[in-house]
Amino acid sequence: MPTATDDGFVIVLPYGTRPDWVQNVLAAGRAEIVEEGETVAVEAPALTTVDAAPYEFPPEELRTMRAFGNTQCLVVRRSAPAPTD
């Protein structure tokens, strides 16, 4: 589940970086996330570790992630809105 940050989202990758959707987002360099019924365009996907993510996970979440070996996440930034004419 994506976690909102100031300028985008952090997505914990419990199955690592191998799933097709992760590879597709990385290859395309962009994606769309549906957050509370609103579609949000995102870009600049980057892999990082949970510890280096630009979000401070609550301690209980960190314990659970570590217990299950979830150490990687995907960070994306919100895309700038398209100019309207």
For the chain, the structural domain boundaries read 2-78
Q: Tell me: the pLDDT tens digits for 6-60?
A: 999 999 999 999 999 999 999 999 999 998 899 999 999 999 999 999 888 899 9
pLDDT at 82 over 80: no
pLDDT of the residue at 19: 96
Res. 1 pLDDT band, cuts 50 70 90: confident
This prediction has a pTM of 0.86
| Residues 6 or more apart in contact with residue 13 via CB below 8 angstroms | 19, 22, 70, 72, 73, 74
Pair type for strands 30-35 and 8-12: unpaired
Residue 78 confidence (pLDDT)? 96
Q: What is the pLDDT of residue 83?
A: 63
Determine the average pLDDT of the residues in 70-81. Answer: 92
How far apart (Å, rounded) are the C-alpha atoms in residues 24 and 42? 13
The pLDDT score that the predictor gives to residue 80 is 83
